[in-house]
């Protein structure tokens, strides 16, 4: 292997630039030529590929977003699109790819390998932390800290006005951001896909707090399948408890931005090095991850198809700290 290329795909996550930097510098360390593909698979189809060196990635480790841009490509889902992508790689004699992204990115890479034999090693870049095969994903720690900063500020105004705040965090299919931000932010409850929390449970909790002179509450809600879930829950609670002063805050895409934390920079750097070294070892269709502090490689098939369970000890922490038990999904 003499030439490799790196790209970012899907939703952006803080730390992607640190991973790009690590890929480029590791490639140069091993005397490989390295290229950057802009806007993910769309850039691969359109031939938006530029050679990179150490200076290309100077002064980016602290920046959020991705210097290579990102996109979700519909064209790459077609055979015609993938054929164009392959032809562009062959023109530049690129032997392997490093893909920084999530499930959709790795699904595309696996299909691409089956059709054209281009090996890819992935680095998990998503704030949701929902990828099987790694304890943490690039961007997750930063997203939690961003949410925590917002929760701390909202708690001040909740306390000042005796209000109930429903704060919606990202997490379409999982409550990883919700559970850690709830614990670290001292929230009274967390509503997540992994737990069975009914509106009745929330009302019971709020009534109990009122009877014990607790006038303000913070309730964290993972967005679920569609953003706006917190508003739906708040409206139902307000209907049953009209005297409560309820407010809803949707943190939204603020969780994807900002400078990555030290933890995300170190993780991204480690995974970038691991991805390049994986290609050099002949690995293909695998994701580099860190499990129990050890660099591991998990087949894309497992990463895509297996569900990463939420740590039940974290749910138990909320139970103990807030005096209620959660019923978890089987």
In angstroms, the CA 144 to CA 170 distance is 10
Burial class (CB in 10 A: 0-12, 13-18, 19+), 182: buried
Contact 179, 192 (CB under 8 A): yes
Cα–Cα distance list, 122 to 134, 162, 243, 281, 284 (Å): 12, 47, 51, 14, 9
Report the number of secondary-structure helices (H) and strands (E) in the chain.
11, 13
- Contacts of residue 181, defined as CB under 8 A and 6 or more positions apart, other chains included, come to 144, 147, 148, 151, 169, 187, 220
Q: Are 205 and 189 in contact (CB under 8 A)?
A: yes
Polymer length in residues for the chain: 330
Angle between helices 312-322 and 176-184 (to 10 degrees): 40
Residue 302 annotated as catalytic? no
Pick the catalytic residue from 128, 130, 141, 264: 128
Contacts of 106 (CB under 8 A, 6+ apart): 99, 120, 122, 287, 300, 303, 304
Please, are residues 264 and 140 in contact by the beta-carbon 8 Å criterion?
Answer: yes
Could you give the residue numbers annotated as active site?
A: 128
């Amino acid at each position: 292997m003499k030439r490799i290329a790196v790209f970012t795909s899907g939703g952006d996550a803080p730390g992607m630039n640190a991973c790009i930097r690590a890929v480029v510098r590791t490639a140069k360390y091993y005397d490989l030529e390295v290229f950057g593909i802009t806007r993910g698979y769309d850039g691969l189809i359109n031939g938006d590929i530029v050679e990179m060196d150490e200076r290309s990635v100077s002064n980016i480790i602290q920046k959020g977003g991705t210097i290579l841009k990102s996109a979700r490509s519909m064209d790459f889902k077609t055979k015609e699109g993938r054929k164009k992508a392959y032809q562009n790689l062959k023109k530049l004699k690129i032997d392997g790819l490093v893909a920084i992204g999530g499930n959709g990115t790795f699904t595309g890479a696996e299909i691409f390998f089956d059709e054209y034999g281009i090996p890819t090693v992935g680095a998990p870049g998503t704030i949701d932390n929902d990828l099987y095969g790694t304890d943490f994903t690039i961007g997750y720690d930063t997203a939690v800290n961003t949410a925590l900063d917002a929760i701390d500020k909202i708690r001040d105004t909740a306390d000042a006005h005796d209000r109930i705040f429903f704060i919606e965090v990202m997490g379409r299919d999982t409550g990883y951001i919700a559970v850690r931000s709830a614990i670290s932010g001292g929230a009274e409850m967390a509503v997540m896909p992994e737990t069975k929390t009914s509106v009745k449970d929330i009302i019971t909790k709020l009534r109990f707090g009122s009877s014990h002179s607790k006038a303000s509450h913070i309730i964290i809600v993972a967005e679920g399948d569609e953003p706006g879930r917190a508003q739906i829950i708040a409206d139902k609670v307000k209907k049953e408890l009209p005297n409560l002063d309820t407010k809803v805050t949707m943190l939204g895409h603020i969780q994807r931005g900002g400078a990555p934390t030290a933890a995300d920079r170190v993780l991204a750097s480690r995974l970038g090095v691991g991805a390049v070294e994986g290609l050099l070892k002949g690995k293909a269709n695998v994701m580099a991850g860190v499990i129990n502090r050890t660099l591991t490689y998990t087949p894309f098939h497992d990463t895509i198809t297996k569900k990463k369970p939420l740590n039940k000890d974290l749910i138990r922490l909320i139970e103990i700290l807030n005096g209620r038990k959660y019923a978890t999904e089987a």
